[in-house]
Structure 1
């Protein structure tokens, strides 16, 4: 199925709307929109929009702007389609190398290290796909974003098949791999393994392990999650310790964060923070309304600073044992806030890699529709401030994670990092 092409004039109108939003609505915490480099990137993108494009081509053209802004809450929606071509495997970037962490290709086993695709070295591929991410830091968040894109190489490169050169068990091999559609891939995956919920629980003796891979779910799934938590704490009152594993959790809804934290407080907890909001007509129904401020056209562009509090309400059953939160370096957004509250208010101890991101973060993006390319951009209009700008979360027990350990975990072979965390718990 060939995607419809959009006329250059319409592409340019949507693009100029994006630039208007970034100048008038974006909170721009590092004042990057005002820099000459931003202007240079914008001009470079404008020149590309002189020919018809589909929405996917438009995404590729404008992505460098969001990559430069380096804000994972400020982005353009990826125009995914079930007819997009994808590898029949899952590639993942770990420490500047590409590995196979799941495979439907018998001749390319899990844990293979990809050296080149169609003769292009992996390092060059990673560099190419960085422009399609919203993050410039060398973190697992960027690795995840790149990984999601490189699995779509057949679509990005418009190729039905490629030759993959890989290393496994000391030998270097080459295999031709034919692409499948996302629809076909998901159908095959469902046949090969059970689909997982974004949370699960298990016991290891007196230690409970609660895994939460995302705080981003709602509706019936949120209601099911609440019942799941109630059941966990009701049936496991003899637990002495609870590990909350939020590795690879890149955030979601604060309401879910507060739902979890409610099981660890016996009275209402007020979490105070400052909020900076940009006074803009584009933020009227979202960022401004959220902090009880009205748009004032006479103060267009002004940054308003206010103080606010979130309230965490106790939820029965309340867990009285020790709480440990297992993290990696790329957790972000609501996951970072979760960790900050746990540490700052003495709810538990933090174990794992030092997170790159500060608890000071832009709010989740306000959606703005681009009518011609029929997709959305997300433009944060506010900034939450919990601590001095230079502050970062320092784990109580910091762990250095090797590539081998991360691969063991990503492929589901074993979890050496969790095992190290349990040793810490048992020795304390």
Structure 2
């Protein structure tokens, strides 16, 4: 199995494993409404609201529409579906509501992925449905219509690999969304159109089968192609014991590959994670301590005490709602062994959050060169919120309290900009080959 596919599979699994339990028990409308009003209070009083959308009449109309829908008993999953359009409207990939799924949630025994407004099979536990199959319809509903249906649950509107990842996650949960044990999939493969009845399996069973097939792997790995090393980091969401392993993994890579002339850090479809993971990687690229200035704005609110403390400010009831500005620095100490060769960072259009920060620092401080698609998102993004628990729906909402930026709020422009085709994306996601990486290696060898 290709290395990229292994990373894709484990990232899907990680996103499922840490989701909370879904409760099928119906919740009384009054309780649902209390949870919803708490969400609206948080958005008005705690959310940094970088685009001022919460004050728009359109937002008020949307809130009223959701209120009307909460007039009947719902379970947590139905509540999620009713409320999600609020977060979709805000178009902030850090402002979100938890998807209430559990080990017993129903999922396809395969991975479907949206690429350029089409649905493809990129991983399959079903022998009769090969990878690279193009899904034309599910239960007679055309793929384009299905993609459109699930867009309302996304927290991003921009067309990017991040949005594709979001929609793909929901499409793989169609058995849960549609409450069906099986569906008919119409697909095209090698010019032939076929139909296949697909029985859903539980997420617990799916994880077990993937593990048995030995097709799951950590979200980071390394390989050599001659004098060029490829360090793949599928996510910076690395914490706990896994972070300790990641640190040792990096130490081993740079200790055992001192003869590398070039290193490609592949962070395509990396949508962010922990700042410490970014600092850990960057430490191997600097010979002396690097201080990176960071501008941040935090909304003064009783809900944002933790975020305020992060910039050395106490919550003040006299300035409730005021936006407080501060500047402080990230300190990146050198980590041995330091790599002194050429650094190349391979990106796509959907990298976000900590991944954007990583690229911004690499480019603005002359650490390396950026190659790939131009990112949709800039280094100016929300952060610093906390998870707020909804006691009746038994799920969390994450409300950003702050907004930050680094060298420039403008979008990053790659040093070498590439156009990536649908076929190239599909080849990589299925693990068949990686044509874009092959292009990058040719560019490096010619420099």
Separation of aligned partners in 2, 1:322 and 1:58: 50
| 1:179-207 C-alpha deviation (Å, 9 max, x unpaired) | 11111111121222332011111111111
Give the alignment partner of residue 92 of structure 1, picking from 108, 113, 123: 113
Matched, 1:395 2:395: no
Could you say which residue in structure 2 is the equivalent of 1:9? 30
Could you say which residue in structure 2 is the equivalent of 1:320? 340
Matched, 1:223 2:244: yes
| 1:371-406 C-alpha deviation (Å, 9 max, x unpaired) | 1111111000100022554x1100111110001010
Query: Would you identify which runs of 4 or more consecutive aligned residues in structure 1 move more than 3 Å?
Result: none
Q: Which structure 2 residues correspond to residues 61-76 of structure 1 after superposition, within 5 A?
A: 61-76=82-97
Could you say which residue in structure 2 is the equivalent of 1:420? 439
Could you say which residue in structure 2 is the equivalent of 1:299? 319
Q: For residue 136 of structure 1, report the CA deviation from its aligned partner.
A: 0.5
**Residues 92 and 365 (structure 1), Cα distance of their counterparts in 2 relative to 1, 3 Å cut:** farther
Q: Which structure 2 residues correspond to residues 26-425 of structure 1 after superposition, within 5 A?
A: 26-285=47-306, 287-387=307-407, 389=409, 391-425=410-444
Q: Is the 8 A contact 1:73 1:364 kept in 2?
A: no
Gaps of 5+ in 2: 1-21
Q: For residue 364 of structure 1, report the CA deviation from its aligned partner.
A: 4.8
Q: Is the 8 A contact 2:23 2:76 kept in 1?
A: no
Q: Is the 8 A contact 1:77 1:375 kept in 2?
A: yes
Q: For residue 367 of structure 1, report the CA deviation from its aligned partner.
A: 1.0
| 1:325-378 C-alpha deviation (Å, 9 max, x unpaired) | 010110111000000000000000001111100000101531111111111110
Separation of aligned partners in 2, 1:198 and 1:209: 14
State how many pairs are aligned: 426
For normalisation by structure 1, the TM-score amounts to 0.98
| 1:288-342 C-alpha deviation (Å, 9 max, x unpaired) | 1111111111111011111111111111111110000010110111000000000
Gaps of 5+ in 1: none
Q: For residue 221 of structure 1, report the CA deviation from its aligned partner.
A: 0.6
Separation of aligned partners in 2, 1:418 and 1:90: 23
More deviation in 171-180 or 328-337? 171-180
Separation of aligned partners in 2, 1:42 and 1:200: 44
Alignment RMSD, CA only?
A: 1.1
For normalisation by structure 2, the TM-score amounts to 0.94
Separation of aligned partners in 2, 1:295 and 1:214: 33
Q: For residue 6 of structure 1, report the CA deviation from its aligned partner.
A: 1.1
Separation of aligned partners in 1, 2:148 and 2:68: 22
